[in-house]
A and B are shown apart, each in its own frame.
Chain A
Amino acid sequence: MYKYDQYDRAMVQARVEEFRDQARRRIEGKLTDDQFKPLRLKNGLYLQLHAYMLRVAIPYGTFNGAQMRKLAHIARVYDRGYGHFTTRQNIQYNWIKLEEAADLLGELADVEMHAIQTSGESIRNVSADQYAGAAADEILDPRPWAEMIRQMTNFMPEFSYLPRKFKIAVIASPIDRAALRWHDFALRIVKNDAGEIGFEVYAGGGMGRTPFIAYKIREFLPTGQILSYMQAVLRTWNRNARRDNIHKQRMKILVHELGEDEFRRQVEEEFQHFLTLHQDFPQAEYDRIAAYFAPPAFETGLSEEIDRSDPDFALWVDRQTVAHKAPGYAIVNISLKPIGQIPGDISADQMDLVADLAERYSFDDIRATHAQNLVLPHVRKQDLHAVWTALHEAGLGEANLDLVTDIIACPGLDYCSLANARSIPVAQKISERFADPARQQDVGELKIKISGCINACGHHHAGNIGILGVDRKGTESYQLLLGGSGDEVTTQAKITGPGFDEAGVVDALERAVERYREIREPGEKFIDTYRRVGMDGFKEAIYG
């Protein structure tokens, strides 16, 4: 993975000292909260329901054992013994003190991590395919481009105060594991007919209260022009977006209001201008970064055999491991969704264990996924049993990847000051309802996503089944949605009808699942059946 050089180190260190100074000025009363808020947000520090919350960037979801151990240390020393993996491959802590935040950022810098631009109206952490560098289906490893984009988009002077946040994703596979078209700006690395590598470019996606699926705005962008192109997109948006209503300032609104074609035309015009400035990074810089992502020294001649005599282990192997590009290796998914637990939460001790396993069995490589799980990308098949045994003993051995209990949920009203309803208890109740492994396996792939308010951090718009918490006259109420996805097709879920209370929404969801089991055709996943029969095929079962 990427290693900082003296320049990266100096920039991150400068950021820590800048924040230390800003926090001091706030505590001394030289900055008002209105002035300080955007400054702290640019360093990922929120004020939530119970305390300050810090969101730490995990660039493109890749980190190593030493970094994970530092995250565990931070959980113990600066927080209350745990962290929460988010839907954008980041980790956040819920009980941070402002007076200690700069020291914490300094500790992160020691292991080449930061919280730069993890919140606020800025270019956020770049997300990527969690199987990058291991997936059998990728054209090349997308992470060197993601790292290059990190360096292009951190501290961009012209875009110091964008109209709203700006989220970028990069993948290099035909299969979309990163919910590409739900991003403001997204790149798929492709090869054209001439065999040249370039980007297929998407723009104007996003969830929130006004969801839009991104348009493809360019078929092929030469990789060497990416900075010019991103600057063109950002400038077009920065200059033309509304500034009078925070709910209408995301780029998706501008793209929608201008229309796909006019937005594309304006971007292309600005792009031609930027090309004349000759500001793009050279191939040599890409080569320098890409060298850090050279494949690890995979052993050859390894056995493909897995001893499946233990049925629990065999179930886990079938559910949690994915084909690796190197013979004898597997990609291991670690579920952070034990039955009845809080989606994405992980204790400091569990973090230490994952760090150990990564160092011992996965070339010191860990990934965070947007589904709030972890990945050990390069595990020898002969080591799978040892990995499973250790995970199982630590409470991380659940076999539920992409199943009905592998639920995405935002922190909701238990933690978040924006939330209208609690998300986590709903996730826990669904998880307990479907706890039986045989039942889960029978239902098959079904992505449930729960948000506690219309900001949609729990991705309910993209859920095969989505749940949206709303405030109905001071009590929690939940809307049920069906038919969303973040896959290659990408669809937006639709509301089924009137809302439910907490117990009611779990029952309604179960009725929808049972309806699917009745009407599915052989081989159909839930989303396939929904796409075949539509809402009408489910509505009566849900509402009777």
Chain B
Amino acid sequence: MKILTGNDLKNGRVIWWDGQGWSFHVEDAVDVGDQGETILKQEDAACRVNGGYALDAELDAQGKPRPAHIKDRVRAYGPTVRPDLTLKPADPNAGTWVI
């Protein structure tokens, strides 16, 4: 599947396209098929995303999108060396999802 990510223009946070708008959580990402470029163009023009791009992902064991490349998984989770600063500070298994 193809999903979309980028950073919020104003606050820089990592965001994922959920079909209606942008979410902080990769679990909310939806398959955009071949619509990626169209959506990114429109969202970039509206200054809602910075540095947006499409990437490959697959569904993990929980049926949630897991980016194919480690770099995007680090983006989705946060720095692996600072679990306290990630989106899932209380989840001991979140790090293994990244690697």
Contact = CB atoms under 8 A, between A and B. Distances in A.
Interface of A: 26-29, 33, 47, 49-52, 80, 94-99, 342, 413-415, 417, 419, 422, 424-425, 428, 474-476
Contact of A424 (B14, B46, B75, B81): B81
A47 B11 contact: no
A523 B75 CA distance: 47
B23 interface: no
Contacts of B45: 29
Contacts of A49: 14, 71, 74-75
Interface of B: 7, 9-14, 44-47, 50-51, 68-71, 74-75, 78-82, 85
User: Chain A CB within 10 Å — which of B69, B71, B85 has the most?
Assistant: B71
Contacts of A95: 12, 85
Nearest to A419: B71
Contact of B51 (A28, A33, A414): A33
A425 B74 CA distance: 13
Nearest to B47: A29
Contacts of B12: 47, 50-52, 95-98
B51 A47 contact: yes
Contacts of B74: 49, 413-414, 422
A79 to B, nearest CB: 10
B14 A425 contact: no
Contacts of B85: 80, 95
A203 B51 CA distance: 35
A428 B81 contact: yes
B80 A422 contact: yes
A98 B81 contact: no
B10 A415 contact: no
A98 B80 contact: no
A425 B98 CA distance: 14
A422 B99 CA distance: 11
B81 A474 contact: no
A424 B85 CA distance: 15
B81 to A, nearest CB: 5
A425 B47 contact: no
The 4 closest A-B pairs by CB, nearest first: A51-B12, A52-B12, A414-B79, A97-B11
Given A28-B47, A422-B80, A425-B80, A413 B14 contact: no
Given A29-B45, A413-B71, A422-B80, A99 B11 contact: yes
B41 to A, nearest CB: 12
Given A28-B47, A50-B75, A425-B80, A474 B11 contact: no
A332 B8 CA distance: 43
A414 B81 contact: yes
Contacts of B50: 33, 47
Given A98-B10, A413-B71, A27 B47 contact: yes
Contacts of B80: 414, 422, 425
Contacts of B68: 474
A26 B7 CA distance: 14
Contacts of A51: 7, 11-14
Contacts of B13: 50-51
A82 to B, nearest CB: 9
Contacts of B46: 29
21 contacts: A26-B9, A27-B9, A27-B47, A29-B47, A33-B44, A33-B50, A47-B12, A49-B71, A50-B13, A51-B11, A51-B12, A94-B79, A96-B12, A99-B10, A99-B11, A414-B74, A414-B79, A414-B82, A417-B71, A422-B80, A474-B69
A476 B79 contact: no
Nearest to A421: B70
B67 to A, nearest CB: 11
B89 to A, nearest CB: 12
Contacts of A419: 71
Nearest to B68: A474
Contacts of A415: 79
Nearest to B10: A99
A419 B79 CA distance: 13
A342 B71 contact: no
Nearest to A49: B75
A131 B75 CA distance: 39
Nearest to A99: B10
Contacts of A47: 7, 12, 50-51
Contacts of A424: 81
Contacts of A428: 81
Contacts of B47: 27-29
B73 to A, nearest CB: 10
A520 B81 CA distance: 35
B79 A98 contact: no
Given A414-B81, A474-B70, 15 more contacts: A26-B9, A33-B51, A47-B7, A49-B14, A50-B14, A51-B12, A97-B10, A99-B10, A414-B74, A414-B80, A422-B74, A422-B81, A425-B80, A428-B81, A474-B69
Contacts of B51: 33, 47
B51 to A, nearest CB: 6
Contacts of A417: 71
A27 B10 contact: yes
A98 B11 contact: yes
A417 B5 CA distance: 13
A205 B69 CA distance: 34
Nearest to A26: B9
